Amino acid sequence: MKILILGGTTEARELAGVLAGRADLAVTLSLAGRTVTPVPQPVPVRTGGFGGAEGLAAYLRDERIEALIDATHPYAGIISANAVRAAAQANVPFLALRRAAWQQMRGDQWIEAANVAEAVEVLGKAPRRVFLALGRKEIEPFEAAPQHIYLVRSVDPVDPPLAVPHAIYLTARGPFGEADDRALLERHRIDVIVAKNSGGEASYGKIGAARALHLPVVMLPRPALPEAESVQKVEDVVAWLDHAVTVAATRGV
């Protein structure tokens, strides 16, 4: 059975690793091609956009894909919407792996912002030391508030840098543990964090560290995603695929 996984996440790599050794599956992982040096993957990779939902539907047909798994990041709303449409157009069985959002716990001080522009407003007029836990392509709106000192952590360098007088750049790839993130926040005397509610373990360190240090977290909302069959764990995808393989084999007989 030919499977396409839309990836770019830890879970997609884990899923590919679980499926890589199976003789009954031929798995391809799709990456957008955003990171300059992507981590090695356990299955063959194709890279770059498909050209919208229609392009993805055409790919599914051309490559005779028999199951599509959307394992992209919860904030990758466009590709996730395209995946639902393309699977329907190409009549390919579809499953989304959607991480549960983090829930606020006692001691958390989350401030919900409607979008990045509102997050910039929430920071206020007085200069603050801000940890931007966002992608390098999402931070430009913070140029509207040059009074703050920004700490930016991204996989690839921020190029061009923000047009603000005070910004510190770190390049690092997760997972990020709580102890390390706490040390980072303390070292840079951070007052406030701006983050996405990504869910999962790999980027939760800063949230736990913020709680321990009594720091507010300005949280950006998840994009609305279309209704689709979805699960939250890699093992649930594997179970779904096992069922799909059995159904296909029965049909073949």
Ligand X SMILES: NC(=O)c1ccc[n+]([C@@H]2O[C@H](COP(=O)([O-])OP(=O)(O)OC[C@H]3O[C@@H](n4cnc5c(N)ncnc54)[C@H](OP(=O)(O)O)[C@@H]3O)[C@@H](O)[C@H]2O)c1
Tokens 């992209």 correspond to 72
194 lies in the site for ligand X, by CB under 6 A: no
Query: CB–CB of 26/3 below 8 Å?
Result: yes
Among 3, 4, 8, 240, binds ligand X (CB under 6 A): 8
Query: CB–CB of 222/75 below 8 Å?
Result: yes
Residues numbered 23 to 42 that lie near ligand X (CB under 6 A) are 30-32, 34
Dihedral angle sign, alpha carbons of residues 222, 84, 251, 13? negative
Q: Which of 209, 214, 167, 155 is nearest to 185 (CA)?
A: 209
Number of residues that bind ligand X (CB under 6 A): 24
Among 51, 107, 175, 226, binds ligand X (CB under 6 A): 51
List, edge to edge, every strand of the sheet that includes 2-6.
Answer: 45-47, 26-31, 2-6, 67-70, 94-97, 230-231
- For ligand X, the closer CB: 34 or 166: 34
Closest approach of ligand X to the CB of residue 85, in Å: 11
152 lies in the site for ligand X, by CB under 6 A: no
44 lies in the site for ligand X, by CB under 6 A: no
Q: Which of 62, 58, 59, 7 is nearest to 31 (CA)?
A: 7
- For ligand X, the closer CB: 41 or 191: 41
Among 17, 24, 78, 246, binds ligand X (CB under 6 A): 78
Tokens 């549960």 correspond to 100
Stretch that binds ligand X, among 19-27, 44-52, 111-119, 243-251 (CB under 6 A): 44-52
Amino acid identity of residue 155, one-letter, is V
Residues numbered 55 to 74 that lie near ligand X (CB under 6 A) are 55-56, 72-73
Distance CA 195, CA 201 (A): 14
202 lies in the site for ligand X, by CB under 6 A: no
Among 3, 6, 84, 130, binds ligand X (CB under 6 A): 6
76 lies in the site for ligand X, by CB under 6 A: yes
Tokens 């000192």 correspond to 149
Distance CA 166, CA 160 (A): 14
Per CB under 6 A, residues contacting ligand X are 6-9, 30-32, 34, 49-52, 55-56, 72-73, 75-79, 82, 135, 196
